[in-house]
Amino acid sequence: MVAAQDIRCAICGKMIHAGCTCNRDHIIPQAVYKWAPGLCPDMTPEEYRSLAHTLRGAANVCITHIRCNAGKEDTIPEIGALHVSAQKRTQIWRLHNQVFAHILRFQRFKRRLLKAQRGCCLRCGIPLDEGGVLRRRRTDRPRVPENACLLCGPCNRSKETENLPELQTT
Ligand SMILES: [Zn+2]
Ligand SMILES: [Zn+2]
């Protein structure tokens, strides 16, 4: 067992002290598997389960400060720059390569959507220099391209998507 004082934040590399707000951060965002069936309609349920299992597994999880994780949203940090052991880094690289086709599809879709939204947050209209966070326009509907939008960090965290303008994605 690792003593609490030995834990470093995977993103900033500083110690995580007792009482620090920290969380278990998925290095390859869980959004990659959550959106996979919608972005890849011929995916079988078995393939989905396997992808979800892989990305929810311990190999994909690091401990980070909440403040360090906050700006990351659904982007993938530079794996080479993570403050993790060599063994952990190898694990994450392996995982990354294993699900690379899904990562590419996810990122490609976000770029397409960004273009459709003219580079701006669909809710508040500020420019999305970091590419924005992919989320559902209506949370009672599935994760499919027709129900997707990109929001800035603060709008995403506000969890309010009512009254979003219609979006022409074709
Ligand atoms: Zn940190
Ligand atoms: Zn916004």
Provide the pLDDT for residue 168. 60
Q: Cα of 97 to ligand 1 centre, how many Å?
A: 25
Confidence class for position 133, pLDDT limits 50, 70, 90: very high
Percent share of the chain, pLDDT over 70: 90
Instruction: Say how far apart CA 129 and CA 49 lie, in whole Å.
Output: 33
What pLDDT, in 10s, does the model give residues 67-114? 888 777 888 999 999 999 999 999 999 999 999 999 999 999 999 999
**pLDDT score for 160:** 64
Q: Which pLDDT does position 157 carry in this prediction?
A: 84
Ligand number nearest to the C-alpha of 160: 2
Res 164 pLDDT > 90: no
Find the ligand nearest to 152 CA: 2
Instruction: Share the mean pLDDT of the chain.
Output: 89
Q: Which residues surround ligand 2, an ion (CB under 5 A)?
A: 121, 123-124, 152, 155
pLDDT beyond 90 at 2: no
Q: Is the pLDDT of residue 162 over 80?
A: no
Ligand nearest to the CA of 149: 2
Ligand 2 centre from 130 Cα, in Å?
12
Q: What is the 3-state secondary structure (H, E, C) of the chain?
A: CCCHHHCECCCCCCECCCCCCEEEEECCCCHHHHHHHHHCCCCCHHHHHHHHHHHHCHHHEEEEEHHHHHCCCCCCCCHHHCCCCHHHHHHHHHHHHHCHHHHHHHHHHHHHHHHHCCCECCCCCCECCCCCEEEECCCCCCCCHHHEEEECHHHHHHCCCCCCCCCCCC
Give the Å distance between the CA of 121 and the centre of ligand 2: 5
Residue 167 banded pLDDT, cuts 50, 70, 90: low
Which two tokens mark 65? 């400060």
Measured CA to CA, the distance from residue 64 to residue 97 in angstroms comes to: 23
Pick the ligand that lies closest to the CA of residue 23. 1
